[in-house]
């Protein structure tokens, strides 16, 4: 594996950070951009000024807008494209892939039309998920590219593929854990973006730390409820893909979802907020998908429901907070797992 060709698909902030990390870790990754001008900028200047200006991109990274050049012969593909583009990119890359190529997916989202998780989209395309690994956890690109200590998790149906991903990515400042719970890791990484939008809105409204802590904690409760209903291990949500990613996304200004929420809380429309962030805000699409999933599985998700009304039905955020606070009395533990008696 030391000399194995590794390709990163997606030259946004996360893809660029992963390529920089791999290069610092002694690899020589290829980096695919769907924009030829961006690939040329990285090649000529060693910088990605639009998506990750703080990163100095090593010369051992080979940028290219030619998908075949990047994918052909690669033993490992790291996907860092927006979740809604995963299917399209994989369909294009499939004809260039080796039969034994392992795909490590770093996108966090749920298809809002089919309600499929990324692993389910992968299975649609390839007929199996054995060579699929999901990468998640609290890992802002802006900090990974600078070598700040980070811990993440990889999950796969195949323990060997998870171990391979761990070996490829692990370094002195990038610690990688394995987890067999693909469903839980995917859901935790996706649903936390909804809660981050909510905490951002609370910040934009001028609310304080108490409000943020309440949203994070109760947000984790509803993420876990849906996850358990869909077959996840509840302990996954106490780990890096659950509470870890939730904390960092809800509290950091690196978070696109939080930043968009802040602008909405300050009175901007959804369109204006998204334009101000200038990058994909995954939580918007995920809110639509999670709303449908909650209805499908009969799971109560009050924060997600209020976020849906604010984003898509024009509800005033102040009224949404009032409705959350005015809900009926609940038992904290049984509201997560009604069948759990302690």
Select from 237, 13, 245 the least CA-distant residue to 137. 245
* Paired tokens of 251: 């509290």
Q: List, by residue number, the catalytic residues.
A: 192
Task: Let me know: does 124 contact 131? Beta carbons within 8 Å.
Answer: no
Pick the range with the lowest mean pLDDT from 6-10, 128-132, 303-307, 333-337: 333-337
Q: What is the torsional sign of CA 222, 224, 225, 230?
A: positive
User: How far apart, in whole angstroms, are the C-alpha atoms of residue 183 and residue 226?
Assistant: 11
Taking the CA atoms of residue 311, residue 110, residue 97 and residue 34 in that order, the dihedral angle to the nearest 10 degrees is: 0
Who contacts 191 (Cβ-Cβ below 8 Å, separation ≥6)?
223, 226, 227, 286, 290, 304
**What tens digit of pLDDT does each residue of 253-285 get?**
999 999 999 999 999 999 999 999 988 899 999
Rg (CA), the chain: 20
| Helix-strand-coil split of the chain, %, nearest 5 | 55, 10, 35
- CA proximity to 109, closest of 34, 52, 188: 188
Confidence of residue 342 (pLDDT cuts 50, 70, 90): very low
Residue 333 has pLDDT above 90, yes or no: no
CATH number for the region 6-180 comes to 3.40.50.720
Q: Where are the domains of the chain?
A: 6-180, 183-325
Q: Does 331 score more than 50 pLDDT? A: yes
Residue 4 parent element (H or E): none
CA–CA distance from 259 to each of 223, 228, 286, 330 (Å)?
A: 21, 29, 16, 31
d(CA 237, CA 83): 21
pLDDT in tens, 216-240: 999 999 999 999 999 999 999 999 9
The structure tokens listed for 30 are 């290829």
CATH number of 183-325, picked from 2.40.30.10, 3.40.50.300, 1.10.1040.10, 1.10.1740.10 = 1.10.1040.10
The 10 Å Cβ neighbour count of residue 42 is: 24
Name the pLDDT band for 341 (thresholds 50, 70, 90).
very low
Confidence at 336, pLDDT banded by 50, 70, 90: low
């Amino acid at each position: 594996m030391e000399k194995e060709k590794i390709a990163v698909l997606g030259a946004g902030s996360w893809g660029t950070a992963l390529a920089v990390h791999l290069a610092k870790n002694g690899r020589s990754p290829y980096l695919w951009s769907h924009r030829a001008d961006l690939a040329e900028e990285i090649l000529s200047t060693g910088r990605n000024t639009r998506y990750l200006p703080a990163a100095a991109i090593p010369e051992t990274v080979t940028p290219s807008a030619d998908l075949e050049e990047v994918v052909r012969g690669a033993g490992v593909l790291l996907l860092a494209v927006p979740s809604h583009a995963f299917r399209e990119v994989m369909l294009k890359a499939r004809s260039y892939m080796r039969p034994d190529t392992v795909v490590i997916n770093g996108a966090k989202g749920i298809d809002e039309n089919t309600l499929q998780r990324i692993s389910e989209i992968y299975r649609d395309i390839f007929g199996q998920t054995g060579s699929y690994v999901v990468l998640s956890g609290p890992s802002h690109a802006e900090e990974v590219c600078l070598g700040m200590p980070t811990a993440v998790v990889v999950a796969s149906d195949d323990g060997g593929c998870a171990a391979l991903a761990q070996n490829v990515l692990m370094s002195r400042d990038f610690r990688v854990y394995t987890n067999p719970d693909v469903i839980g890791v995917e859901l935790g990484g996706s649903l936390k973006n909804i809660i981050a939008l909510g905490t951002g809105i609370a910040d934009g409204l001028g609310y304080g730390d108490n409000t943020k802590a309440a949203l994070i904690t109760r947000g984790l409760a509803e993420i876990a409820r849906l996850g358990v209903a869909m077959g996840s291990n509840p302990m996954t949500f106490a780990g890096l893909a659950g509470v870890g990613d939730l904390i960092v996304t809800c509290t950091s200004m690196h978070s696109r979802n939080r930043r968009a929420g802040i602008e909405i809380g300050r009175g901007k429309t959804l369109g204006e907020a998204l334009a101000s962030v200038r990058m994909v805000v995954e939580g918007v699409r995920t809110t639509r998908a999670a709303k449908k999933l909650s209805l499908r599985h009969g799971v109560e998700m009050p924060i997600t429901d209020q976020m849906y009304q604010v984003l898509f039905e024009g509800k005033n955020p102040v009224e949404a907070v009032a409705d959350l606070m005015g809900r009926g009395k609940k038992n904290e533990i049984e509201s997560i797992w009604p069948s759990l008696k302690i």
